[in-house]
């Protein structure tokens, strides 16, 4: 079951206000949404490893958000907020100030 924000009335109101069309996921073929399935699998693996290593799961997620992926020049945190977030991982101080990524939207569409 979804949360209260998943109710049809809330989704209908939000889609009308924000001018978007909501398409429900295909229940019989969850693998059709491969990127989401892969993201969920990655998060589950990170959490399992954090618990097994007795490491803070929140710090594990933060470390993941500050790590670049294959084929990407920026981290997920940089894509979202234009700067890296502070973690317990060693990082040069010149990498911490905000850095707006030029043409980000166009670059992501090309990939």
Distance CA 69, CA 48 (A): 20
CB count within 10 Å of CB 3 equals: 7
> Average pLDDT of 1-27?
68
> Average pLDDT of 5-19?
72
Q: What is the pTM of this model?
A: 0.53
How much of the chain exceeds pLDDT 70, in percent? Answer: 77
């Amino acid at each position: 079951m979804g949360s209260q924000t998943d109710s049809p009335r809330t989704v209908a109101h939000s889609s009308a206000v924000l001018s978007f069309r909501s398409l429900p996921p295909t229940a019989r073929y969850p693998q059709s949404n491969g990127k989401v399935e892969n993201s969920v699998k990655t998060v589950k693996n990170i959490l399992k490893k954090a618990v097994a290593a007795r490491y803070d799961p929140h710090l594990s997620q933060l470390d993941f958000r500050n790590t670049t992926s294959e084929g990407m020049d920026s981290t997920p945190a940089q894509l979202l907020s234009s700067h890296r977030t502070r973690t317990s991982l060693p990082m040069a101080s010149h990498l911490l100030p905000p850095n707006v990524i030029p043409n980000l939207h166009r670059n992501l569409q090309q990939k």
